[in-house]
């Protein structure tokens, strides 16, 4: 079989020759009904009978792998898609640097690998759960379609991780696969594994911030796992990254369109000061200071996903050849890091300082720095829209010490500028920096659905181009209730 193309003749589309891998096929077929139950319980609320203009992967060729068509979400073909195997691939880092990549799980690293796969797997359904109510307030059919595209692909990413668990981890793997369907985002008794994936996504601004900032954490994690010496994990992650790019596109352009619309409305109304919140809100658009607060929240929650700045788990996973660095193969060093250091932001005598730590234990910090750099690109674009409109206002990433629950700064409070403050000041001022109930109520008041093809809610601009180059009035979702 051609590894590039996906076999749609089996119940579970795949390019891993499932029809000849009876045991795994059976395990996956056994898991399928539970997945469909989960999708109907926890997937998008409503719209399950609507025709949605979705892309489906038919190949893993990076030059063209998707085809677009109307699909009812429950009929989406969730499948197992791995990037083609690279011939003679070697482990690109760690103590096993240069040895052939593993095609089976090495016994001594089994527990670590399983843990990493389960954590990654857990985030995928979690975001679908977090976003399940958003369909009923979509600002356009275009946005509604993008939401559902993200949702079905996160569902597929769950399949991707479940395949690895079931194929390579025997009974433990099957149990973990079942657990992935059992946990629920925000549930008091059995929550999802990571903090940001238990937060609510109450409105579309949150959705855009989530896909920009939190999906980007996913991108960084997938990049590091795509370097893995465990070749099936590497190949799985490589293909997931091609899908992930669209999720971040949805976030970046979503926020761009909000900023665009706000600036246009302020100009049309002759508003000179973007911080005149009451006046701007009076126009029925999102004021930029509130946008900044949403950004502060989602960025800081996403930073927590990188774990502690200094971590022996991260060092062990790297040494073992399981989880590499962002763009590992392009880095010019010995890929072992035994004698290297990396500057880590730490709290030293009540001040935030850079301290050199062994590079191996500082890998989380390094990945987080790469993430921050990647985040900046969007801010530059958004700020350009603001300055082009003639406004002196800049969106900015808050300091890494701001609003943290994990790592070096979890026990202190800091302003978005990185000034350390005491508890009382934090309590008094945090609503200047994070969305308040009032802010939430205001945003909620804007969230009225628009379901007419080619129409957009008044708080967001239309996109510059359509999906699959469709014209502006294309009916991306044929709503059936
Ligand atoms: Fe994902
Ligand atoms: Fe994603």
Determine the distance separating the centroid of ligand 2 and the alpha carbon of 127, expressed in angstroms.
8
Which ligand number lies closest to the CA of residue 246?
2
pLDDT digits (tens, 9 = 90+) for 54-87: 999 888 887 778 899 999 999 999 999 999 999 9
Determine the distance separating the centroid of ligand 2 and the alpha carbon of 438, expressed in angstroms.
29
Residue 3: the pLDDT is 67
| Res 357 pLDDT > 80 | yes
Determine the distance separating the centroid of ligand 2 and the alpha carbon of 217, expressed in angstroms.
9
Determine the distance separating the centroid of ligand 1 and the alpha carbon of 121, expressed in angstroms.
8
Which ligand number lies closest to the CA of residue 158?
1
Determine the distance separating the centroid of ligand 1 and the alpha carbon of 265, expressed in angstroms.
35
| Res 149 pLDDT > 60 | yes
Which ligand number lies closest to the CA of residue 155?
1
Residue 2: the pLDDT is 62
Determine the distance separating the centroid of ligand 1 and the alpha carbon of 157, expressed in angstroms.
5
Question: Around Cβ 138, how many Cβ atoms within 10 Å?
Answer: 24
Determine the distance separating the centroid of ligand 1 and the alpha carbon of 418, expressed in angstroms.
31
Residue 124: the pLDDT is 97
Which ligand number lies closest to the CA of residue 244?
2
Give yes or no for a contact between 156 and 14, defined as CB atoms under 8 angstroms apart.
no
Helix axes 312-320, 110-130, angle to 10 degrees: 120
Beta-carbon contacts of 200 under 8 Å, excluding residues fewer than 6 positions away, are 130, 186, 206
Determine the distance separating the centroid of ligand 2 and the alpha carbon of 244, expressed in angstroms.
5
C-alpha span between 147 and 159 (Å, rounded): 19
Residue 63: the pLDDT is 76
Which ligand number lies closest to the CA of residue 215?
2
| Res 31 pLDDT > 60 | yes
Q: Which of 399, 417, 416 is nearest to 408 (CA)?
A: 399
Mean residue pLDDT across the chain: 96
pLDDT digits (tens, 9 = 90+) for 398-439: 999 999 999 999 999 999 999 999 999 999 999 999 999 999
Total number of residues shown for the chain: 481
Which ligand number lies closest to the CA of residue 124?
1
Residue 61: the pLDDT is 82
Determine the distance separating the centroid of ligand 1 and the alpha carbon of 268, expressed in angstroms.
39
Residues whose CB is under 5 A from ligand 1 (ion)? Answer: 124, 154, 157
Determine the distance separating the centroid of ligand 2 and the alpha carbon of 145, expressed in angstroms.
15
Determine the distance separating the centroid of ligand 1 and the alpha carbon of 151, expressed in angstroms.
9
| Res 159 pLDDT > 70 | yes
Determine the distance separating the centroid of ligand 2 and the alpha carbon of 294, expressed in angstroms.
19
Determine the distance separating the centroid of ligand 1 and the alpha carbon of 393, expressed in angstroms.
33
More confidently predicted of 3 and 133: 133
Determine the distance separating the centroid of ligand 1 and the alpha carbon of 287, expressed in angstroms.
30
Determine the distance separating the centroid of ligand 2 and the alpha carbon of 429, expressed in angstroms.
33
Determine the distance separating the centroid of ligand 2 and the alpha carbon of 93, expressed in angstroms.
26
Determine the distance separating the centroid of ligand 2 and the alpha carbon of 124, expressed in angstroms.
7
How far is the CA of 270 from the CAs of 100, 281, 386, in angstroms?
A: 65, 14, 15
| Res 1 pLDDT > 60 | no
Residue 76: the pLDDT is 95
Which ligand number lies closest to the CA of residue 214?
2
Per-residue tokens: 130 = 């977090």
Among residues of the chain, what percentage have pLDDT more than 90? 94
């Amino acid at each position: 079989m051609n590894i590039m193309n996906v076999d749609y003749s089996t119940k579970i589309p795949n390019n891993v020759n499932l029809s000849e891998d009876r045991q795994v096929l059976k395990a996956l077929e056994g898991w399928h009904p539970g997945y469909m139950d989960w999708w109907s319980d926890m997937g998008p609320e409503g719209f399950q009978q609507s025709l949605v203009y979705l892309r489906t992967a038919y190949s893993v060729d990076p030059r063209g792998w998707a085809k677009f068509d109307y699909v009812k979400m429950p009929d989406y073909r969730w499948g197992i898609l791995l990037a083609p195997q690279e011939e003679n691939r070697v482990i690109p880092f760690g103590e096993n640097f240069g040895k052939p990549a593993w095609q089976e799980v090495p016994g001594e690293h089994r527990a670590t690998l399983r843990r990493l796969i389960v954590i990654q797997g857990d985030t995928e359904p979690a975001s679908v759960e977090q976003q399940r109510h958003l369909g009923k307030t979509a600002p356009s059919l275009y946005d509604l379609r993008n939401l559902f595209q993200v949702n079905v692909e996160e569902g597929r990413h769950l399949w991707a991780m479940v395949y690895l668990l079931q194929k390579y981890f025997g009974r433990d793997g099957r149990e973990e696969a079942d657990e992935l369907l059992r946990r629920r985002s925000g549930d008091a008794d059995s929550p999802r594994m990571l903090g940001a994936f238990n937060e609510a996504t109450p409105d579309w601004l949150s959705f855009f911030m989530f896909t920009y900032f939190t999906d980007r954490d996913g991108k960084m994690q997938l990049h590091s796992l795509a370097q893995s010496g465990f070749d099936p994990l590497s190949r799985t992650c490589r293909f997931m990254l091609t899908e992930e790019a669209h999720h971040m596109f949805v976030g970046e352009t979503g926020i761009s369109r909000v900023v665009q619309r706000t600036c246009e409305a302020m100009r049309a109304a002759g508003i000179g000061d973007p911080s005149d919140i009451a006046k701007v809100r009076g126009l029925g658009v999102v004021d930029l200071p509130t946008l900044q607060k949403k950004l502060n929240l989602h960025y800081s929650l996403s930073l927590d996903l990188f774990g502690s700045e200094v971590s022996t788990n991260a060092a062990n996973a790297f040494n073992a050849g399981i989880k590499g660095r962002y763009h590992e193969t392009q880095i010019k060093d010995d890929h072992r890091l035994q004698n290297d250091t990396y500057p880590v932001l730490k709290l030293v005598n009540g001040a935030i300082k850079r301290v050199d730590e062994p590079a191996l234990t500082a890998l989380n910090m390094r990945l987080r720095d790469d993430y921050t750099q990647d985040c900046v690109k969007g801010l530059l674009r958004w700020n350009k829209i603001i300055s082009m409109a003639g406004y002196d206002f800049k969106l900015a990433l808050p300091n890494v010490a701001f609003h943290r629950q994990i790592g070096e700064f979890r026990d202190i409070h800091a302003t978005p500028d990185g000034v350390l403050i005491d508890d009382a000041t934090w309590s008094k001022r945090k609503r200047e920096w994070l969305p308040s109930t009032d802010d939430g109520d205001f945003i909620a008041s804007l969230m009225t659905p628009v379901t007419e093809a080619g129409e957009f809610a008044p708080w967001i601009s239309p996109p510059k181009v359509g999906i699959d180059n469709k014209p502006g009035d294309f009916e991306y979702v044929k709503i059936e209730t």
